[in-house]
Amino acid sequence: MADLEAVIGLEIHVQLATKTKMFCGCELSFGDEPNVHTCPICLAHPGVLPVPNEKAIRYALQIGAALNCEIAPRSIFHRKNYFYPDSPKAYQISQYDIPICGAGRLGEVRIHRAHLEEDAAKTIHVGSSGRIHGSAASLVDFNRGGTPLVEIVTEPDLRDPAEAAEWARLLRETVRQLGVSDVSMEEGSLRVDANISVRPVGSEELGTKTELKNMNSFRFLQRGMEAEYARQCALVEAGGAVEQETLHFDPASGSLTSLRSKEEAHDYRYFPEPDLVPIVPTEAMLREAREALPELPVARIERYEKELGLESDPARLFGREPEMAAYFEATCAEAGEAEPRTIANWITGDLTAELRKGDVDEDFTDPTVPPASLARLAELVAAKKISHGSGRKVLAILVAEGGDPEAIVEREGLAQMESDSGELESIVEKAMADNPDAVEKIREGNGKAIGAIVGAVMRETKGRADGGEVNRLIQEKL
C-alpha cells in the first residue's frame, strides 16, 4: 500500500482586542468575576438588537490586509441557530456565504476566508468529566459572550502536523504584530481547530476529514494532529474507512474522543441576520487598514533572506520576534565591516546562549548589550583583530558587566597574535612536535586529526591565534 500523507486545513478563532463587545457596549475582560460584563443585549433579553462594533470591523479589515485577502465590497451577517446555554439568543451572529475577507494567502498556505462573528459565553460543567454529559450542573459566565472574533479558515494546504503547527505559529505572530489580538492560546484568545484527512501520496483527491478541537497550545496542537494522523493511517491501512466526526483531544492522556458524528451534525439553519445592515467598507477604511500594517513576518523573512543574505533559521526567528529583528537591524546599522549574516549569527547564537546562561529574560527594546557594542565586537572578529573564541569571551563580559569591547580586549589581553611575528610559527612547531600521532594521521589522510594540533595551539595562545592562520601553518609544515 502506498504511503499515506496527511492533508490538513486549520480553522483559527482570533478574539479581537477591542474595548467593547461585538454587538453591545460591554467591556471585554479576562479573569473578572463571572457575569459582571453583561447587559440586556448580550444576555439576549426580549426586544434587544445588535449594533456592530466599528473597531472590530476595522480590525478584521487589517487581518484581511495582512493575509492578502480579497475584501468583500459588501458582506453580510447571518444567524447560525443552535440551542445551548452558551448562546443566549440561541443563535450566533456570524458570516456565512459573503464573509468580509475572501481568498488570501499567508506564506505557503492559501486562506479560504476570514469572517467576523461573536464569541459564545463560557460554560463550566460541574462534575468529574468536565463535559456537559454526566455533569451535576452547568454554570454559564456571560462575560466572554459577544467578544468579537475573526475566524480564519485555510485551504487544506498543509501536509504534516509539524508543518501545520509551524504555520499556525507564523499566523499567530502575524496577527500579534498587527496589535489586534492578544493571541494567547492559554487564555483562549487564539483557538486552533484542525481538519485532517489522509490520502495516498501522489493522490489529488481529498479523503474524509475529521475535525479536531480543544488544543490549547501549539505543542498540543501538533500532538493532537499527530495522534489523529496516526489513527487515520492505522484505520485505512487495516482496510477501514475514516468517518466524518468531530474529535476532542485530551492532552493528558493523548486520546481522541468523538464529540459528534456526521449524523449528529447540527443543522444550523443559517439565514441572513435581519437586524443588521451589510458591511460596506469605504475606500478610506480600506486604505487605513493597509496603511496600519507593520512589516509582517513573511515580508521580513523574505527581505532578510533575499536582501541581507540571512539563512532561513535566523530569518524566521527574526520574523517571529519583531523586537529582536529591530535589534538586529540597529546592530547592522552600527557595523561597518561585519556582514548582516554574521551579526545575525552573533545574536541568534552566542548572544542568545550567553543570555540564557545568565538567565536573562531579554527585552530587546532595552537590550543588555547595546547594538553599538555588539557591532563593534562583530567588527573586531571580522577584521581578525581577535579570534572568534576571544570574541565569545568579550561577549560574556559585555553581558555580565557591560563595557567597551576594545577596552575589554586590551584589558584581557585578547588581541590576536600577529601572524608574521614568528611567535605563532614556533608555537605551531612545538604543538606538532608534541603530537606526533596526530601528525602521522594527517599524513595518512585523516584530516580530522588536525584538530588536536589546533587545539594545542589555541590552549597555548589562550585563544588569541587566528584559527585559519594556524591551519595554514600546519599544512605548510607538513
Partner 1 sequence: MTDLLALTALEAHEAMVAGDLDAAEYTAAWRQAAAGDELNAYLWRDESGAEAPAIAVERDCIAPIAVKDIFTTEGVPTTAGSRILEGYRPPYTATAVRKLIEAGAPVLGKTNMDEFAMGSSNENSAYGPVLNPWDHERVPGGSSGGSAAVVAGGLAPWSIGTDTGGSIRQPAAFCGIVGLKPTYGAISRYGMIAFASSLDQCGPLTRTVSDAALLLGILQGRDPLDSTSVGIEGGIALPGREDLSGLRFGVPSELAGDDLDAGVREVFEQTLKQIEALGGEVSEVSLPSSEHGISAYYVIAPAEASSNLARYDGVRYGMRAGGDGDLIEMYETTRSEGFGPEVKRRIMLGTYALSSGYYDAYYGQAQKVRTRIAQDFDGAFAEVDYVVTPTAPSVSFKLGEKSDDPLAMYLNDFFTVPMSLAGIPAISIPAGLAEPEGGGPKLPVGFQIAAPAFAEQRLLDAAYALEQGIGFDARPGGADG
Per CB under 8 A, residues contacting partner 1 are 40, 43-52, 79, 81, 83, 85, 88-91, 132, 138, 140, 267, 269-271, 274-277
| CA pseudo-torsion sign 338, 340, 342, 348 | positive
Return the HEC string of 40-87: CCCCCCCCCCCCCCHHHHHHHHHHHHHCCCCECCCECCEEEECCCCCC
∠ Cα 12 75 271 (to 5°): 85
d(CA 82, CA 269): 8
42 vs 369 by CB, closer to partner 1: 42
Chain centre distance of CA 457: 44
d(CA 280, CA 290): 16
CB of 297 to partner 1, least distance (A): 36
Closest CA to 343 of 362, 318, 306: 318
CB of 48 to partner 1, least distance (A): 7
CB of 142 to partner 1, least distance (A): 9
81 vs 246 by CB, closer to partner 1: 81
Chain centre distance of CA 465: 41
Amino acid at 5: E
CB of 18 to partner 1, least distance (A): 17
| CA pseudo-torsion sign 382, 385, 386, 392 | negative
Interhelix angle 405-412/371-382, rounded to 10 degrees, is 50
96 vs 249 by CB, closer to partner 1: 96
CB of 122 to partner 1, least distance (A): 14
40 vs 358 by CB, closer to partner 1: 40
CB of 278 to partner 1, least distance (A): 10
1 vs 49 by CB, closer to partner 1: 49
CB of 53 to partner 1, least distance (A): 12
- In this structure, what C-alpha cell is assigned to residue 155? 485551504
CB of 89 to partner 1, least distance (A): 5
Write the DSSP assignment of 441-473 as a string of letters. Answer: HHHTT-GGGHHHHHHHHHHHHTT-S-HHHHHHH
90 vs 234 by CB, closer to partner 1: 90
Amino acid at 386: I
90 vs 201 by CB, closer to partner 1: 90
132 vs 360 by CB, closer to partner 1: 132
131 to each of 33, 116, 128, 326, 466, how far by Cα in Å? Answer: 22, 27, 8, 46, 66
CB of 32 to partner 1, least distance (A): 19
Contact in structure between 17 and 28 (CB atoms under 8 Å)? yes
266 vs 356 by CB, closer to partner 1: 266
d(CA 241, CA 16): 39
Chain centre distance of CA 288: 26
∠ Cα 79 81 82 (to 5°): 150
d(CA 198, CA 236): 9
CB of 138 to partner 1, least distance (A): 7
CB of 102 to partner 1, least distance (A): 22
83 vs 366 by CB, closer to partner 1: 83
110 vs 122 by CB, closer to partner 1: 122
26 to each of 92, 120, 326, how far by Cα in Å? Answer: 17, 14, 37
Closest CA to 60 of 160, 175, 156, 201: 175
The partner residues of 148 in beta bridges, in order of sequence, read: 118
40 vs 349 by CB, closer to partner 1: 40
CB of 327 to partner 1, least distance (A): 46
Contact in structure between 399 and 360 (CB atoms under 8 Å)? yes
